[in-house]
Amino acid sequence: MEKAKNVKTDQLGQHLTDNDQKVLTTNDGVPVYDNNNTLKAGNRGPSLQQDHIYFDKMAHFDRERIPERVVHARGSAAHGLFEATGDLSEYTTAAFLKKGTKTPVFTRFSTVAGFKGSTDLARDVRGFSVKFYTEEGNYDLVGNNIPVFFIQDAMNFPDLVHAVKPEPNNEMPQAASAHNTFWDFISLMPESAHMIMWVMSDRAIPRSLRMMEGFGVHTFKFVNDEGKSTFVKFHWKPRLGVHSVAWNEAQKISGFDADFHRRDLWEAIENGDFPQWDLGVQLIPEEDELKFSFDILDPTKIIPEELVPVKIIGTMTLNQNPENFFAETEQVAFDPGRLVPGIDISDDPLLQGRIFSYMDTQNYRLGGPNFHELPINRPINGKHNNQKDGFGRMDILKGAVSYFPNSKAEGCPYHAMLKGKTTGFQSHRQAIDASKVRARSDSFADHFTQARLFFHSQSPEEQEHIISALSFELSKVDDVNIRRRELAILNQVDKDLAKKVGDNLNLTPPKELDELTLKFARQNHPEYPIKPKKPEVEKSEALSMKITPGEGTIETRKVAFLVDDGVSKTSVDRMKKALEKEGAQAVLIASHVGKLQFKEGGTEDVQHSYLTDSSVLYDAFYTPDGDSVKKLADNPDYIQFINEGFRHCKAIAFAKEAEELIKETLVKEDQGVILESTKDLINDFITAMKGHRVWDREKPRKVPA
């Protein structure tokens, strides 16, 4: 049979192909005229089941990796308990949200882009997914630590992930967005501008999984017993506050301990320092759907807390580590379509697409349709249906009947009814009158107002970190046209931001969007750019992580006690006692592991040394009194600890006899450097730690960001 004329072969006779100058097609060669939008009932309506082009694209994408997850491969998880504390009966029938109800949960945190063996400290979005084992079945709240996303429609999701993953020709770089293909994609997608502000902020390099917020990202629906719906946004608020590391610090942590976040979560739970988050909701009446200057169905937008306050409705406590990583953390399957009565999805086009994608990818990754029979995925109230075969079947369905309706099994399993009234899950009854289209609502066309809101809501220090992050990322892009395109997008967000990044790249930001960017934007909005509506909020305090010095908590923070043989036990114990009273941990670090000799006599076993640990693994530093001071003065590793901790803006305390060591370092006294001779050693040290960082230290000394 004659080969197709457009198919080339290599020396082994295998097919070679490329996409140069080719029309976009399906896998069957059918031309595709719109690769940005799923098929919907109207441009703001729900996505349609008959969208075979989307299903074909997503089914292929979901099967591209074996056996790890395509995205969110690197994860850590824990068991816990959720207790409902608010009264939501007016809004939802969900049983697990009834005040006083306690529900077992399994929560998995993850990075998005890296492979399973990548570092915890990559600059990336963090997955934050919670499986509730409710009395009405499993409910999955599948979210992230950032409340918005890069794209608006699920059709673009495979393209986004392909762009951010290692480049296909050389499999580089790992777990990083600082490369050509990612920024090429982003610079052509103005809708990503808001998400880019978040990812380039310190939110993308959290101090701990225990110290980051979680968000449902999408707008969902609560449905009450009368069938009335209320739009809802979900928020997880950490009891320990929201904190980050510095970028220079994150890079070094990746080298010293790539499992930093995983170890931190595991050890906290093992030590009984159980992480807690309050679950909050923003509730929007159905009649207020179109009330705001932005579209609440747009996943690239937030609802500022100044417009709709967050109502706390419960608390999650993680109190048990997994017994087996593979059986639990690796095999747990999340799906935003795993809903319970009283909660439903909205017409958000990204959420609509995820309903298929997540189920499909778990089906494939876990070897077939029976992954819900794995112990970690089983509902606590059991499952009863007529689906009895397939790969990986573990349950044995008794009897001769596996169909519905039936009479031979007395109609069992039967429809959910209570006293003649239908119960169980029901989709919200929503009127739809629309044409079938591949299009996007013009209410999704404002891509820069909320990006500007986020940037302007940051403290000056946080803004500088965003500028530094963008400069770092774009400097790794070797195509100057991509750099210019992204600078043009930044110029629409904030001219000062664009200029500072441009100065670092030796480029002048273009005033207008690139013609290629406009071409792609107009495929979704023919009249783009569309004049945005006046925003209700121009700054939002909730978007900044900076806290007032002294108002935070130091619970579970690790304080390095920098010591050597001859250290004063009295000096160690008085600081240790005070820190532990505040919930912090004191970790002795010496020139060697094993027995540490005290000045007063006696010893203590030390598990950490200057050769095995680094300053970036600790939150603050204390140097006690004792004969150890002279030894530390001659120890370059000690000097490195102090200098690096100072440059990373951390609190540093010196007992009186140890103050002379400052002369050997780059340390200059400020509000975060506590000398016993001039300040209240213990109380001022704790106050400085509660501020998380001494960010004022960055400016005059050019501290790495």
Strand 620-623 versus strand 651-654 pairing type: parallel
Assigned token pair, 264: 């931190």
- The residues assigned a catalytic role are 72, 144
Residues 240 and 584: their CA atoms lie apart, in Å, by: 12
Q: Which residues pair with 13 in a beta bridge?
A: none
Q: Which residues pair with 562 in a beta bridge?
A: 589
The alpha carbon dihedral of 108, 114, 117, 118 has a sign of: negative
**Cβ-count burial of 609 within 10 angstroms (0-12 exposed, 13-18 middle, 19+ buried)?**
middle
CB 526 within 8 A of CB 488: no
Residues 467 and 461: their CA atoms lie apart, in Å, by: 10
Q: Which residue has the tokens 């320990």?
A: 240
Find all residues with CB under 8 Å of 639, minimum gap 6, and list them: 664, 665
User: 302, 35, 346, 72: which is closest to 195 by C-alpha?
Assistant: 302
DSSP assignment letter at 626: B
Residues 642 and 620: their CA atoms lie apart, in Å, by: 10
User: 209, 319, 272: which is closest to 580 by C-alpha?
Assistant: 272
Alpha helical stretches, state H, 150-301: 157-164, 180-187, 193-199, 247-256, 260-270
Find all residues with CB under 8 Å of 504, minimum gap 6, and list them: 467, 471, 475
CB 155 within 8 A of CB 409: no
CA distances from 704 to 134, 437, 466, 649 (A): 46, 50, 13, 10
